[in-house]
A and B are shown apart, each in its own frame.
Chain A
Amino acid sequence: MHALLKRQLKRYFPDGAPEGGPLQELIAAVDQAYVDADDERALLERSLNLSSDELKARNDQLQADIAQRVRAESERDAFFRMSPDLLCMIQPDMSFRQVNPTWERVLGYAPSELIGRSMIALIHPEDVQRTLQEASKVAANGNTVGFTNRFWSKAGELRLVAWTAVKDAATNSYFAAGRDITEERRKESEAAQSQKLEAVGQLAAGVAHEINTPIQFVGDNVQFVRDSWDDLEPLRTWLTAVLEAKQATGDDVAALEALLAKADWDFLVGELPTSLEEARDGVKRVAELVRALKEFSHPDTPDMVSCDINQALQRTIVLARNEVKYVAAIETELGELPAVPCHAGALNQVFLNLLVNAAHAIEDRNRKKGTPNGRGTIRVATKVDGDFAVVAIGDSGCGIPPEIRERIFEPFFTTKEVGRGTGQGLALARKIVVERHRGALTFETTVDVGTTFFIRLPLRAATLARAA
């Protein structure tokens, strides 16, 4: 019997409770209830202790998790603050939700000046539409890499920014990282110009030689005309005297014949027009070279202009003639092309690079075959293929070995000896064709047979946009 009930019975029934009957049944029921209540309390206490222990352990774990999370967040915040890139969260309405301090360092805007403000207000008006279109693309496709637009700095300068952005599906916001590539692009432009100048330098000797030959025979012919004029001087004097005397005698006829013979009149009559013709040709060739050189070295324009690609190719061939003429014959098959929107100066450089490379490849093949004076062929062809103009520049050179085919467009990769190439030619060519023209630069090659490079250029703005 439960101790408490025992005491209670002893207290209220000092002489003992009546045996049997309903009272004993009641006492048994009360006893059970006491036991059950104790049991229940013990179970509850046990549960309470155990769950308290568990909750404490979980609380400790939670504290540790929070500490770790705080540390991780602090590291992430530091990363956010210290990143050299312009990091930001953009709301679906293109307003800034969060920006890192780099915005102030690069563009001069404090985060408090940007948060809540529309990003569009900072973008050059000409780039706004493209930016909104790109944002729509990110919303649909999830990300963008390498998109560039121009931002106004607080000081009023335009800065070129390249973006990588992803969409956060949960909030429809954008997480974007931008890099100020203004200086980088300027250096690239300078590098391109210097590469161009380097190419011009490489060509200078050839160009000088090319100019020297016609100048030489222009000079020779002019000297000849000058000398011939001296020979004709006695004849002119005599004729003047005879004309002044107004009469000629038989002696005069003999004297005239003698003078004509002395001046080699018949020869002069035949040669002088030819000499003058040759001199005119020479001057024409020099003028052509000078024009080609001038156009080649002309600084590039930021916007594309419509250009006659065939004419550009022909002028570049003129410039490359000396580099090529001893190793190859240039065959052209220029199809009818519409005007192509392009950066003409940059494309000229691509053509020249490919022509010079073609000549070098043929030289290499000759050297390999032990026929240093052998001549190969460089074929230059153009055609329209769908929405693209295609320029093919092929050579009968040594071909590109399989092991380096994947590397030839890498910057500073070259197989040429020092002084013959910098390794920037094809890298730059690819950059010009692919990035600046949204075109393609590919090649087909067979070792010891030759290589053909294909430049595909979009013909229309619509194609350009699609290619983009």
Chain B
Amino acid sequence: MKTQQLVWTKERGWNPQRPADERPPTLVLLFGQREVLEAGAALDALAQHFPRQTFFGCSTAGEIENTSVHDGDLIATAVWLERATVHAAARSLADFTDVREFGAALAQALPKDGLRHVLALSDGTRVNGSELVAGITTSLPAGVELSGGLSGDGAAMKTTVVVDRGQVRSGVVVALGFCGALKVGIGSLGGWDAFGPERRVTKASGNVVYELDGESALALYKRYLGPHAAGLPQSALLFPLTVHASEGALPVVRTILGVNEADGSLTFAGDVPQGSRAQLMRANFERIIGGAFDAARATESGNDAELAILVSCVGRKLILKQRTEEEVEAVREVLGPKPALTGFYSYGELAPFTGGAACQLHNQTMTVTTFREV
């Protein structure tokens, strides 16, 4: 495997300007600001050096290049695979009414033979991530895992886009199927602390929560946010929710994508079943950085990884602010100098909690997927 990272900024355009290899790459991963992607100039310039149909990626709430976290730029990571192959499938949400069926159709479009791993890059505001994951994973062959994330739109949470074969599209999910001689590692951890009383989700439907302990969910958040309530829905990222759907089930973390002043409801990135137990969470700097470190260790890739795709939650970036790069540095510390690090700050991460467990939609985690050709 060979990789080359290029950074596009408004001021300087692409840097470096030339490809490191004359051969067409297997894949060019693109993560960047929505407006930059939609403007098209950056992609057009890149297409002069790399085939446009190899471009896949999505808009972000921050893009990762090596140990740097960019805002408003575009990061391209060209990947030349020697023995493995990548197959892409994309579907438009507009063609389906049921998200599970949508996810299943997406997975079924990928080849089954030799499939090792699926990386999904999804629209970030128009899809129920839990249902998407359920749909994709039920149609994948045994042993094939899924990771990826919901694309971002800065902290605006309005519109997100996905790059599919060089085309910038909204309302789309693209699935990249990695086939052949690859070793893939996945790790996903949060590092947030639950606090305050445990609450019962007394009224909810899908990913919309109306009441917690009989009280308007929005009113509760406003009370806790105080002056920050003016910054809703983005400021709700400060208080994610840990959700126990049932006794014995692992808790999942959910962040808010939207609020509804009219009915006092909150829309989360994934399902929050009625009757489940929920608790507010708060940031703990050291544990957040430690979470990224442990997520990288959970990939069990030692120092052999050649490519690492990092999908971290926008909520972490909102907390870490000037210290955001510390979590990327923590990943680098574990994986060593060899792998190219790329990825993005997302509206939701897709990964199993631990190797072999079922993939789930997460929020507030750092999710690391490592690749190495074998």
Contacts and interface: CB of A to CB of B under 8 A. Distances in A.
A54 B322 contact: no
Given A29-B322, A46-B226, A47-B224, A54 B282 contact: no
A56 to B, nearest CB: 10
A191 interface: no
A55 B226 CA distance: 19
Contacts of A54: 196-197
Nearest to A58: B197
A51 B196 contact: yes
Interface in A43-64: 43-44, 46-47, 50-51, 54-55, 58
B224 A50 contact: yes
Range class of the B interface residue count = 10 to 19
A198 interface: no
A47 to B, nearest CB: 6
Contacts of B228: 43
Most B Cβ at <10 Å: residue of A29, A33, A44, A47: A47
A36 interface: yes
B322 A32 contact: yes
Contact of B195 (A32, A36, A47): A47
A50 B322 contact: no
Give the secondary structure class of A's interface. helix
A58 B225 CA distance: 21
A50 B223 contact: yes
A36 B322 contact: yes
A30 to B, nearest CB: 9
Nearest to A56: B197
Nearest to A46: B226
Interface string B168-195: 0000000000000000000000000001
Nearest to A50: B224
B322 A55 contact: no
Nearest to A35: B321
Contacts of A40: 283, 319
A117 to B, nearest CB: 36
A359 B226 CA distance: 94
Interface in B202-233: 223-226, 228
A33 B322 CA distance: 7
B321 A51 contact: no
B238 A43 contact: yes
Contact of B282 (A36, A44, A58): A44
A50 B196 contact: yes
A301 to B, nearest CB: 60
Interface string B124-140: 00000000000000000
B322 A46 contact: no
Nearest to B228: A43
Contacts of B224: 46-47, 50
A40 B228 CA distance: 11
Interface string B250-262: 0000000000000
A50 B239 CA distance: 13
Most A Cβ at <10 Å: residue of B196, B225, B319: B196
Contacts of A44: 282
A360 B223 CA distance: 86
A40 B321 CA distance: 11
A460 B73 CA distance: 95
Contacts of A58: 197
A393 B95 CA distance: 81
Contacts of B195: 47, 51
B223 to A, nearest CB: 6
Given A43-B226, A44-B282, A50-B223, A55 B196 contact: yes
Interface string A11-46: 000000000000000000100110010001011101
Interface string B261-294: 0000000000000000000101100000000000
Contacts of A32: 321-322
Contacts of A29: 322
A58 to B, nearest CB: 5
Interface string A173-213: 00000000000000000000000000000000000000000
A44 B280 CA distance: 12
A93 B195 CA distance: 46
Most B Cβ at <10 Å: residue of A32, A42, A46, A55: A46
Contacts of B223: 50
Contacts of B322: 29, 32-33, 36
Contacts of A42: 226
26 contacts: A29-B322, A32-B322, A33-B321, A33-B322, A36-B322, A40-B283, A40-B319, A43-B225, A43-B226, A43-B238, A44-B282, A46-B224, A47-B195, A47-B224, A47-B280, A47-B282, A50-B196, A50-B223, A50-B224, A51-B195, A51-B196, A51-B197, A54-B197, A55-B196, A55-B197, A58-B197
Interface of B: 195-197, 223-226, 228, 238-239, 280, 282-283, 319, 321-322
Given A40-B319, A47-B196, 11 more contacts: A32-B322, A33-B321, A36-B322, A46-B224, A47-B224, A50-B196, A50-B224, A51-B195, A55-B196, A55-B197, A58-B197
List 4 A-B pairs, minimum CB-CB distance, nearest first.
Answer: A51-B196, A54-B197, A46-B226, A58-B197
